[in-house]
C-alpha cells in the first residue's frame, strides 16, 4: 500500500523511556500505521538519518486562550516541536463570558497574565458565550497544533454571580449552577478545571481574581463534578510563598484530591535565591499527596523576566501595590514618589513572595532618558551604592527619572536541577502566551534537550523525552498522543541532537501582536521537522502553510 508519509532511518525515541532504535515510521490518514522497516511507498519520504524522531512535545501549562484568536501558528510554542498545548490554567480565561462582562474578563488576563489590554481588546473575537461554544470556535479556526482546554474557574463564577464574584463566595444555588456549567464543559471535552490560591493573581480593578474567593464548599462541589463524570484533572496555583507549602495549602490540596478522586497538578516548586533549600522541604512534606496524584510542576529554565512599573505584575502579591494597578501614569508616578507608599512597600518586603527584593539580582535593561543610558546592564545594588541610597528607593527612583519607561531585568528563580528527572514532578510552567512583554519560556522543551541532556548530562535523552511527552499525556488523559506507537496520532518532532536548543537567555523583541504590540519570543534550534496529525507543519523551521491542528476533547 502507499502511505501518506514515511520517515526513514531515524533514531526513534518513542516516549516510553525505552532505548532508542533505528526504524522507519509510516503514516496514513493522520496516524502511525507502521514502525520498523517499511518497504511500501509514500507520497512523501523524509530522510531522518542522524536525527532523533520523537513524539510531539506536550506543554501542560499555557495561556494561549486569547492568542489563538489572532495567531493560528500558536507561536512560539509550535516552533519548538510542541504539538499540543494545555490552555486555561491558573483559573483565568475568556469563556464562558456574557457580552457585558467582556471588559472584566479582559482585565483579568491583563492583571494575571500580563498581556496588554490594547492587544486583547483588538485581538479577541468573542464569537461565543458558553465554554462549549468557545471550544467549538477554536475548532472552527485554522490552527497549527493541537489545543486542549482546562475550564478556568474565574469566568464561570463571573458568568453566574456577576460582579459580586470578586467580593464573596457563591451561595448554594449559585454553586450548583457553576458545578453544572463545569460539568457541561468537561462533558464537552475540557480536560478538567483550574483555579488559583495565590495573592499575586488579581483581577479587574485590582480586586481578587474571582476564583480565589471560592469557598471550600464550592470547591468540593466542583471537584465532585469530576468525580461524577469519572474524568478530568485539576490545576491550581497553590503556594502563596514560592516553593513553601503551609498547613492551609496542604489541606486545600488534600481536599481537591479527596473530593475529585482525580489527579491534581499544582504550582510550583522553584529554587529560590533567598531560600535555596525550601523546595526540598516542600517536596518532602507534600510526598503523601504526591503519591495520591498531586504532582507539582517545575521549570527547567532559570526564570528571568523583564519588569517595568507601568505594568508591575510581579509586585501584585504585596498589599502596598494594589493602588498601582490599571491606573494612569500620573497616578502611578505620584504613588511611587509617596514616602508612605515606600514605607509600606518596605514593610511588605519583610515577607518576600514572587518579588524577592534582592537588588543584586535586578538590573537595568533599557532606559529612554539619555542621562540613564549609562546605567544599562548595571544592578540596582550597584547603582544604589554609587548614589548613596538604599536599594528600594533606587528601584523606584530610576523609573520615575525615566517617566516610567525604564525596563528592569530580574532573576527570579533558579533551576532545581536535581528534580528534572524526578517522577514526583511534572516539567512545565512555560506560561506560553502570557507575560509576553516580560519573558518567553515557551522553548523549555528544546532547552531541556540541549542544556540539561546534551550539555549537562543530567538525564538520558530517553528519560527527557518521556518527561516531555507521555508523562503529561498520561496525567491529563490524552490517550492517543505522547508516544510513537502503531495506531496513535502522528504528532512527531524530528531534531538534531547535536544542535537542538533554544535562545532562552536571549529572547528577541517583536512587534507582531494586534496593534503592533511588543512581545518577546525565543526561536528554536535544531528542530528539522514538526509533524502534526500526519502533516508536516515545519520543515527546517519554515512553516509549510499547513494548519493540521485539532481541538482535543477529553
What pLDDT, on the 0 to 100 scale, is given for residue 507? 87
* DSSP per position, 270-293: -EESSSTTHHHHHHHHHHHHHTTT
Which residues does the chain have with pLDDT short of 50?
Answer: none
Pairing of strands 192-196, 151-152: parallel
Please tell me the distance from the alpha carbon of residue 323 to that of residue 332, in angstroms, as a whole number.
Answer: 8
- Residue 256 sits at the vertex; the CA angle it makes with 254 and 260, to the nearest 5 degrees, is 125
Q: Which CATH number fits domain 3-55+503-543: 3.40.50.300, 2.30.40.10, 3.30.70.2740, 1.10.287.130?
A: 2.30.40.10
SS3 392: helix
DSSP designation for 244: B
What pLDDT, on the 0 to 100 scale, is given for residue 353? 75
Please tell me the distance from the alpha carbon of residue 142 to that of residue 139, in angstroms, as a whole number.
Answer: 8
What pLDDT, on the 0 to 100 scale, is given for residue 1? 66
Q: Which three-class secondary structure string do you get for 69-128?
A: HCCCCCCCHHHHCEEEEEECHHHCCCCCCCHHHHHHHHHHHHHHHCCCHHHHHHHCCCCC
What pLDDT, on the 0 to 100 scale, is given for residue 503? 85
SS3 19: coil
To 10 degrees, what angle do helices 216-229 and 172-187 make?
30
What pLDDT, on the 0 to 100 scale, is given for residue 204? 86
CATH 3.90.1150.10 for domain 57-302+415-475, yes or no, is: no
So where are the chain's domains? 3-55+503-543, 57-302+415-475, 306-411
Residue 128: closest CA among 97, 167, 165, 168: 97
Global confidence as pTM = 0.90
* Contact (CB, 8 A) for 198 and 237: yes
What pLDDT, on the 0 to 100 scale, is given for residue 285? 97
Amino acid at each position: 500500500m502507499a502511505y501518506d508519509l514515511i520517515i526513514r532511518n531515524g533514531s526513534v525515541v518513542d516516549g516510553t523511556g525505552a532505548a532508542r532504535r533505528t526504524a522507519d515510521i509510516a503514516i496514513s490518514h493522520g496516524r502511525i500505521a507502521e514502525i520498523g522497516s517499511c518497504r511500501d511507498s509514500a507520497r512523501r519520504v523524509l530522510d531522518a538519518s542522524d536525527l532523533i524522531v520523537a513524539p510531539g512535545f506536550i506543554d501542560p501549562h499555557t495561556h494561549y486562550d486569547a492568542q489563538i484568536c489572532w495567531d493560528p501558528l500558536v507561536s512560539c510554542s509550535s516552533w519548538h516541536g510542541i504539538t499540543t498545548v494545555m490552555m486555561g490554567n491558573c483559573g483565568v480565561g475568556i469563556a464562558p463570558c456574557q457580552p457585558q462582562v467582556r471588559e472584566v474578563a479582559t482585565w483579568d488576563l491583563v492583571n494575571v497574565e500580563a498581556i496588554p489590554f490594547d492587544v486583547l481588546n483588538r485581538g479577541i473575537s468573542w464569537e461565543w458565550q458558553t465554554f462549549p461554544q468557545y471550544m467549538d470556535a477554536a475548532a472552527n479556526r485554522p490552527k497549527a497544533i493541537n489545543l486542549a482546554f482546562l475550564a478556568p474557574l474565574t469566568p464561570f463564577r463571573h458568568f453566574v454571580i456577576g460582579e459580586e464574584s470578586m467580593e464573596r463566595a457563591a451561595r448554594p444555588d449559585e454553586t450548583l449552577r457553576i458545578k453544572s456549567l463545569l460539568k457541561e464543559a468537561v462533558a464537552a471535552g475540557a480536560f478538567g478545571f483550574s483555579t488559583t490560591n495565590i495573592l499575586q493573581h488579581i483581577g479587574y480593578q485590582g480586586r481578587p481574581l474571582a476564583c480565589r474567593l471560592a469557598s471550600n464548599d464550592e470547591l468540593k462541589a466542583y471537584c465532585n463534578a469530576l468525580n461524577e463524570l469519572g474524568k478530568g484533572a485539576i490545576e491550581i496555583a497553590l503556594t502563596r510563598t514560592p516553593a513553601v507549602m503551609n498547613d492551609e495549602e496542604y489541606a486545600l490540596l488534600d481536599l481537591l484530591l479527596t473530593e475529585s478522586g482525580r489527579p491534581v497538578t499544582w504550582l510550583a516548586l522553584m529554587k529560590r535565591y533567598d531560600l535555596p533549600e525550601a523546595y526540598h522541604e516542600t517536596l518532602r512534606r507534600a510526598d503523601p499527596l504526591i503519591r495520591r496524584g498531586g504532582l507539582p510542576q517545575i521549570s527547567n529554565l532559570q526564570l528571568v523576566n523583564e519588569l517595568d512599573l507601568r505594568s508591575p505584575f510581579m509586585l501584585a502579591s504585596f498589599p502596598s501595590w494594589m493602588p498601582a494597578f490599571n491606573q494612569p501614569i500620573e497616578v502611578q508616578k505620584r504613588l511611587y514618589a509617596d514616602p508612605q507608599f515606600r514605607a509600606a512597600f518596605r514593610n511588605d518586603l519583610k515577607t518576600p513572595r514572587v518579588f524577592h527584593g534582592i537588588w543584586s539580582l535586578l538590573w537595568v535593561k533599557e532606559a529612554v532618558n539619555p542621562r540613564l543610558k549609562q546605567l544599562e546592564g548595571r544592578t540596582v545594588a550597584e547603582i544604589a551604592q554609587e548614589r548613596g541610597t538604599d536599594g528600594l528607593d533606587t528601584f523606584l527612583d530610576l523609573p520615575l527619572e525615566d517617566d516610567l519607561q525604564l525596563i528592569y531585568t530580574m532573576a527570579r528563580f533558579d533551576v532545581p536541577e536535581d528534580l528534572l528527572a524526578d517522577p514526583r514532578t511534572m516539567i512545565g510552567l512555560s506560561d506560553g502566551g502570557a507575560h509576553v512583554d516580560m519573558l518567553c519560556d515557551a522553548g523549555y522543551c528544546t532547552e531541556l534537550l540541549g542544556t540539561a541532556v546534551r550539555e549537562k548530562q543530567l538525564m538520558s535523552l530517553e528519560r527527557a523525552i518521556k518527561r516531555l511527552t507521555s508523562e503529561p499525556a498520561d496525567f491529563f488523559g490524552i490517550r492517543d498522543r505522547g508516544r510513537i506507537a502503531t495506531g496513535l496520532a502522528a504528532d512527531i518532532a524530528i531534531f538534531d541532537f547535536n544542535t537542538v536548543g533554544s535562545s532562552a537567555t536571549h529572547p528577541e523583541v517583536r512587534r507582531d501582536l494586534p496593534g503592533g504590540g511588543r512581545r518577546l519570543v525565543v526561536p528554536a534550534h535544531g528542530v528539522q521537522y514538526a509533524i502534526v496529525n500526519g502533516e508536516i507543519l515545519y520543515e527546517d523551521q519554515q512553516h509549510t502553510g499547513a494548519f493540521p491542528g485539532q481541538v482535543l476533547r477529553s
